[in-house]
Structure 1
Amino acid sequence: MTSREFSVVDEYHYDRRSPLRWVASHIRRYPLLPVIFLITTAAMAGAQSLAAVLLGRAFDTVVEGATIGAVALAALAVAAAYLGYALSDIINTIAVRVLSQRIERDARDEVYLSLLGKSLTFHGHQRVGDLMARVINDVQQVSQMVSPGFNFIIESSLSLVVPLITITTLQLDLLLVPVLFLVALAWALWRYNAALRPVASELRERFGTLNAGLTEAVAGIEVVKGFAQEAEEERRFTHSARAYRDSFVLQGRVEARSLPLLVYGLAVGLAFGHALLLYLDGRISVGQVITYMALLNSLRMPMRFLLMVFTILQQSVASARRILTLITTETELDENAGGVARRIEGDIVFDRVSFGYAALPGSQAAQEGAGPGNLVLKNISFHARPGQTIAIVGQTGAGKTTLTRLVTRTFDATAGQVRIDGVDVRDWSLDSLRSQIATIEQDIVLFSRTIAENIAFGSRGEVTREQIEEAARLAQAHEFIMSFPDGYETIVGERGVTLSGGQRQRIAIARAFLADPRILILDDSTSAIDSNTEDQIQRAMRRILRGRTTLLITHRLAQIMRADQILVLQQGELVAQGTHEELLETSPLYRQLFIPGEGRLHRPGDGGTGGRGGGAVSLKNWTLPRKKEGKKRGVAS
């Protein structure tokens, strides 16, 4: 069983050892439909051959001078045979179409469930457009393996076999040409299939590349226009589109050079000559010649179906292989459904924790065999007690965000332990752990749904409109939400593009309030909010965060100073920790982070900069200057 972060209780398990076994296991989930399909297909082939036999006997009846009544009876018999064919065809079509659509639905559910269970590391290595191509187009192509794929194969096979069996009832000598034809057909189809297989795989891969490039360009249209790169993106898309077109042209050339129809034409000519010789020899009648040729003519459509279906099957197998590659790709984390599941108190301990991306499957560092020198975090140890606020500061790339992601088990530590309430995070049920932790980042993700639905997104169970509005008020979002014509029912665009940065962040904060987390991670979450609004939010946070442990990554010195403990990171190492006053005394790096200008430190009677000297003056007396309008306070993130 592949490791994954999420699963459902009533999940159906499919055979994923190969593409064909996978599709067959989907078919076996609905055993009645294939049985109905097989019975009606056999009935169709039998009715078609019966009609040919009755038609030949009708000719013999006419040649022998039959009465009008006998001719009418023969005509009714032929009509009855075709009516039986038509009724069987209706039932056959319904059964196979329902089966095909159920398989498409189930396969798409299976792929989506698999994507939900993959880690962020996996998703970080994927192109969204290629994933969408697999979930939508490749799944649809797999359903075509059933209809018209398997449908045509079985129908064509029976339409080849049943006429041959019928020919034996006419005259055994008539089998000579059809048997030679089947041998030649098998060789021609094998040759055609071998030439088509690599082309079909290339076609699906190039479609994925085309779709991925298109999705990236549309998603990043603001950057494309901002740098005036429309011409370059058009060139890239044209290149991918031409490659996709070239694959189609190559497929057309393979299909055009197919031999089965040529083999069929030769077989019909030889068979007709052979039948005439037997007729002249008095061994068969005119009616039997007509029946024989009608049966051979019934092989024409199966021939065309087989040529078409091999193209479909090769593309479907290529799509199924792409889907299985996605589903069976290992993820480094497991949901640990039987792990610890209880209320979190918020005690966090990092015990000599190190982390490097080389430990993650599929990472470039792992592929290159990276060693300890590639660690992002090195030997980190600290203790956050329940209800404490821990500020994490350091320059860009110091490892601040990575540290918080070890708490949520986005990644697992390479060495050491991360413990919550004394339990290693790897021993917690992943669902229980993450459901009690809320993260608010600077890059807010909202869904193309109503504002109310976005606020309620992180809640477990049903929430009332009053609860949603209360959370919005706490996040200072209620006022701007009500300014919209539809209020809380306003549909925000994809990723919330119709809202400003500050509005998106306040909705995200409201979402966190409503989720009622035991641990809250704020990763520069108020960077797009003005100082006045931020102050209001901070007052609300101080009320609502009582009893909750908070990990805070921020530029803003006012928030840092209020933290119970501050961690100072440099190049993945914890170089200092303590309160604001303690770090001013003991940490040169902490002082250097507060450069002159924005957020500089002052001491009474000193008009110069602080934190860069000061002789014997006690740093405990240094205070934050009064805010200036339009100025930001802070340290480098």
Structure 2
Amino acid sequence: MNLPTSLVSSQQGIPRPEQMPRAVQRGRSEGYIYTRTSRRRIDSTLQTGLRRRWRTSTFSRTALDIRCAAADIRQTSLGELQRTEANLPPLPQTPHSSKLLDVLPYLVKLALSDKTLVVRLGCALSCMAISKVSGLAVPLYFKQAVDHLTAPSETMLAAASQGAAVALIISGICRVASAIFKELQHVVFSPVSQAAGRRVSFHTFSHVLALDTSFHIKRRTGELSRKLERGTQSINMVFRAIVFTFIPTVVELALVCGILWTSFSAPVAGLVLATFAGYIGWTAMLTQRATEARKALNKMDDLTSGKAVDALLNFETVTLFNNASIEAKQYDRYLVGYQKAALDTEKLSAMLNGGQGAILGLGLTAVLLAANWGGAATAGDLVMVSGLLLQLWGPLQFLGYFYRELRRSLVDMEAFFNIMRTESKIEDGHVELPPQGPSAANGNGNGKAAHGGIHVELRDVHFQYNRRRKVLHGVSLTAEPGQSVAIVGPSGSGKSTLLKLLTRLYDTTDGAVTLDGLDIRDLRVGSMRDAVAVVPQDTVLFNDTIFRNIEYGRPGATADEVLEAARMAKLDETIQAMHEGYDTLVGERGLKLSGGGEKQRVAIARAFLKEPRLLICDESTSALDTETERAIMASLAELAVGRTSIFVAHRLSTIRNCDKIIVMAAGRVVEEGSHDELVAKRGMYHSMWEAQQRDEVEEVVNA
């Protein structure tokens, strides 16, 4: 049998633990290891790396460690991930706006929340100070060297040469020290920025996943991902720019002005400050216009990315309708808009850079003329002034870049913070749903039904997506523990919406939904959803192995339990026929699986694995052939024993044996009863049944 390479039976040959990668050792401790093929491929890489470790460079060892870590992550079981705590401190409160004065306290709290990171931040700032002081010492010693070499008499030439040599050596040492400590500050600070980035990314991702369905259906995936990506990158950029650009430049400016003031006069230092002020003023004026252009660029970027992702996710529909050229032309229209916005941004950037260069050039000339006013300055003085200013202009240009990027980043943060300030409309309750029903607690259940069923009740439920779209009108129904209930009706009658209320993807507009007598709004969402398994009409799978997709139903399940769930879903034989077996990657949204029900059966296997108290099936067998459908329905009937089950179905023959059938039309319950009772009433259900019976007869005749 072709077992999954991620977690399989440990009855095969087991290597020594020290020969296994960490993920394999972890699997072995849980009673599982990899198959021979996967283990041989991974262990071969590791053993080759270990044999040659003494010859391997640091970079090669790092690459090997990264490959091992990647394999480690891929092979980590969902159960282990579930047991692992992220141990990340919460983020500071999201700022009320993206203004700098609101963002700065947020960044400070973000940096100071970890004592280890605070120490690193202090060390990085110390390295920065040493680097700047050492760098400013270089022009001072160059001044001494030049003054020595321009000695007025030949008798002093020997001593001057010796003094110049000493000054040049010291200046060289200072230059080296400045370069070393400049890079060292980045090395020391990197864990700070990376840790902050990880926290922001983790909590942002968690926050978005916790938002309600109404948020996600209004967002385009590509647009949302770009906003989150730009937002997290902007926080990291501002964080680093403040530490490595703004603070060092301000410190360096103060030191240069102090040196020029003491060496020459206050007017010389004043010219430096005037140049600085003019530079910042020009930058601020042009950046304001660039900010508006950046907003337009971001908007077009969001639309372009959203269009591309939308077309790629639905490429099969695009291909079947032969509309690839139309999609490409629509994408090009967004690209044209993006191109125009990008050109506007580039023009403003060119104007900004040109003006900055002119201001710096004029400022340098003015300061040199002022320093030499009256002819009192030596050649060494002019060299020192030139060196100090040129050393200052570099960071000053970065400061201009920082200011432009700061404004751009604040624009990016605005959309990011708007998402972070968005609150879910589904408020979490504080009541835990009991993990088992009364019958199970009293020992009346057995085997897989040990969790017992849930008493489900809807009391006068009304629901509307918006003011113009009212879907449910006073719906009331009950499902007793262990009872099977079917909901049928024409398209648009509110069947799927009712299921969304049961799983609390939405809250009712009016009325109440109760589970075991507890209002669903008072229950903790996590405990409620742990007790419910849903087999949806449109199954979307992760781009992972079949094994991992089934295991997703209950992270931490054993390999035998996963295999049993696949067998119960009539999926095991199909998987075994695949070349990679349970290790087969299903592709994006499961597109590598056939449309003949394989995706639906994976979803059904998840439900078997979860062993829920409430089973919800939303036309889950609609894509299956008749024979497979009957087998699946038999399995679902077995799973439903002792549990409450609710089926939404179009094909009435699949639900005729349910304990109760609810007939809906236009958002209302119009009939209720068993199959025989509803047929005898000769109402809406009877008409639907007769129509489907005629269709089935015609299909048999035409076949």
TM-score normalised per structure 2: 0.79
Of the three residues 83, 86, 90, the one matched with 1:12 is 90
Matched, 1:172 2:265: yes
- Alignment correspondent of 1:580: 675
Matched, 1:44 2:122: no
- Name structure 2 gaps, 5 residues minimum: 1-84, 438-452
Of the three residues 145, 155, 161, the one matched with 2:248 is 155
Matched, 1:25 2:120: no
Cα separation, 2, equivalents of 1:10 and 1:177: 49
- Please show how residues 547-566 of structure 1 align to structure 2 within 5 Å: 547-566=642-661
Whether contact under 8 Å (2:146, 2:164) holds in the other structure is: no
- Name the CA shift for 1:312/1:179 in 2 (closer, same or farther; >3 Å): closer
Whether contact under 8 Å (2:282, 2:356) holds in the other structure is: yes
Whether contact under 8 Å (2:432, 2:528) holds in the other structure is: no
Deviation of 1:80 after TM superposition, in Å, equals: 1.9
Whether contact under 8 Å (1:157, 1:302) holds in the other structure is: no
- Name the CA shift for 1:542/1:50 in 2 (closer, same or farther; >3 Å): same
- Please show how residues 353-364 of structure 1 align to structure 2 within 5 Å: 353-358=461-466
Cα separation, 1, equivalents of 2:194 and 2:653: 59
- Alignment correspondent of 2:7: none
Whether contact under 8 Å (1:36, 1:92) holds in the other structure is: yes
Q: Describe the SS at the equivalent of 1:561.
A: coil
Percent of aligned pairs with the same amino acid: 25
Deviation of 1:548 after TM superposition, in Å, equals: 0.8
Cα separation, 2, equivalents of 1:245 and 1:107: 31
Q: Please tell me the residue identity of whatever aligns with 2:139.
A: A
Deviation of 1:600 after TM superposition, in Å, equals: 4.0
1:532-586 deviation digits (Å, cap 9, x = unpaired): 2222222222222111111111122222210111111110011111112222233
Q: Please tell me the residue identity of whatever aligns with 1:43.
A: I
- Please show how residues 335-374 of structure 1 align to structure 2 within 5 Å: 335-337=428-430, 339-344=432-437, 345-358=453-466, 365=467, 370=468, 374=469
Whether contact under 8 Å (1:210, 1:240) holds in the other structure is: yes
Q: Describe the SS at the equivalent of 1:245.
A: helix
1:103-137 deviation digits (Å, cap 9, x = unpaired): 33222212211111011121111101112212334
What root-mean-square deviation, in Å, do the aligned CA atoms of Structure 1 and Structure 2 show?
2.4
Q: Please tell me the residue identity of whatever aligns with 2:306.
A: A
Q: Structure 1 residue runs of 4+, over 6 Å off?
A: 625-628
Whether contact under 8 Å (1:160, 1:302) holds in the other structure is: no
- Alignment correspondent of 1:72: 165
Whether contact under 8 Å (2:293, 2:341) holds in the other structure is: yes
Cα separation, 2, equivalents of 1:270 and 1:136: 44
Q: Describe the SS at the equivalent of 2:574.
A: helix
Q: Describe the SS at the equivalent of 2:521.
A: helix
Deviation of 1:253 after TM superposition, in Å, equals: 1.4
Q: Please tell me the residue identity of whatever aligns with 1:306.
A: L
Deviation of 1:139 after TM superposition, in Å, equals: 2.4
Cα separation, 1, equivalents of 2:415 and 2:547: 38
Of the three residues 386, 389, 399, the one matched with 1:296 is 389
Q: Please tell me the residue identity of whatever aligns with 2:199.
A: D
Whether contact under 8 Å (2:464, 2:471) holds in the other structure is: yes
Q: Which moved more, 1:416-425 or 1:189-198?
A: 189-198
Q: Which moved more, 1:399-408 or 1:37-46?
A: 37-46
Alignment coverage as a number of residue pairs: 585
Cα separation, 1, equivalents of 2:490 and 2:196: 52
Cα separation, 2, equivalents of 1:518 and 1:340: 11
- Alignment correspondent of 1:635: none
Q: Which moved more, 1:524-533 or 1:87-96?
A: 87-96
Q: Which moved more, 1:461-470 or 1:145-154?
A: 145-154
Matched, 1:480 2:588: no
Deviation of 1:93 after TM superposition, in Å, equals: 2.0
Cα separation, 1, equivalents of 2:628 and 2:322: 35
Of the three residues 514, 517, 528, the one matched with 2:623 is 528
Q: Please tell me the residue identity of whatever aligns with 2:119.
A: L
Q: Which moved more, 1:196-205 or 1:437-446?
A: 196-205
Deviation of 1:16 after TM superposition, in Å, equals: 0.9
1:177-212 deviation digits (Å, cap 9, x = unpaired): 213223322322221332222222222222111111
Cα separation, 1, equivalents of 2:277 and 2:590: 63
Cα separation, 2, equivalents of 1:437 and 1:9: 28
Of the three residues 159, 164, 175, the one matched with 1:82 is 175
- Alignment correspondent of 1:613: none
1:265-320 deviation digits (Å, cap 9, x = unpaired): 11111122222224x2x3x4332232122212222212321232233222222222
Whether contact under 8 Å (1:380, 1:573) holds in the other structure is: yes
TM-score normalised per structure 1: 0.87
Matched, 1:449 2:533: no
- Please show how residues 604-615 of structure 1 align to structure 2 within 5 Å: none
- Alignment correspondent of 1:514: 609
Cα separation, 1, equivalents of 2:585 and 2:246: 48
- Alignment correspondent of 2:43: none
Cα separation, 1, equivalents of 2:629 and 2:319: 32
Cα separation, 1, equivalents of 2:427 and 2:565: 33
Q: Please tell me the residue identity of whatever aligns with 1:272.
A: L
Matched, 1:462 2:556: yes
Of the three residues 613, 631, 636, the one matched with 1:541 is 636
- Name the CA shift for 1:90/1:409 in 2 (closer, same or farther; >3 Å): same
- Please show how residues 179-578 of structure 1 align to structure 2 within 5 Å: 179-258=273-352, 259-278=355-374, 280=375, 282=376, 284-337=377-430, 339-344=432-437, 345-358=453-466, 365=467, 370=468, 374-459=469-554, 461-501=555-595, 502-578=597-673
- Name structure 1 gaps, 5 residues minimum: 1-6, 359-364, 602-624, 633-637
Deviation of 1:347 after TM superposition, in Å, equals: 0.5
Cα separation, 2, equivalents of 1:197 and 1:238: 25
Cα separation, 1, equivalents of 2:599 and 2:388: 71
Cα separation, 2, equivalents of 1:341 and 1:47: 67
Q: Describe the SS at the equivalent of 2:586.
A: coil
Whether contact under 8 Å (1:111, 1:323) holds in the other structure is: no
Whether contact under 8 Å (1:390, 1:552) holds in the other structure is: yes
Q: Describe the SS at the equivalent of 1:438.
A: strand
Q: Please tell me the residue identity of whatever aligns with 1:486.
A: E
Q: Please tell me the residue identity of whatever aligns with 1:87.
A: I
- Name the CA shift for 1:402/1:228 in 2 (closer, same or farther; >3 Å): same
Q: Please tell me the residue identity of whatever aligns with 1:27.
A: A
Deviation of 1:69 after TM superposition, in Å, equals: 3.1
1:204-250 deviation digits (Å, cap 9, x = unpaired): 22211111110001111111122222222111111111222222211
- Name the CA shift for 1:465/1:136 in 2 (closer, same or farther; >3 Å): same
Whether contact under 8 Å (1:49, 1:166) holds in the other structure is: no
Q: Describe the SS at the equivalent of 1:453.
A: helix
Matched, 1:53 2:140: yes
Whether contact under 8 Å (1:96, 1:146) holds in the other structure is: no
Q: Describe the SS at the equivalent of 1:73.
A: helix
Q: Describe the SS at the equivalent of 2:540.
A: coil
Q: Describe the SS at the equivalent of 1:218.
A: helix
Q: Please tell me the residue identity of whatever aligns with 1:247.
A: A
- Alignment correspondent of 2:23: none
Whether contact under 8 Å (1:394, 1:400) holds in the other structure is: yes
Cα separation, 1, equivalents of 2:604 and 2:493: 25
- Name the CA shift for 1:593/1:471 in 2 (closer, same or farther; >3 Å): same
- Alignment correspondent of 2:442: none
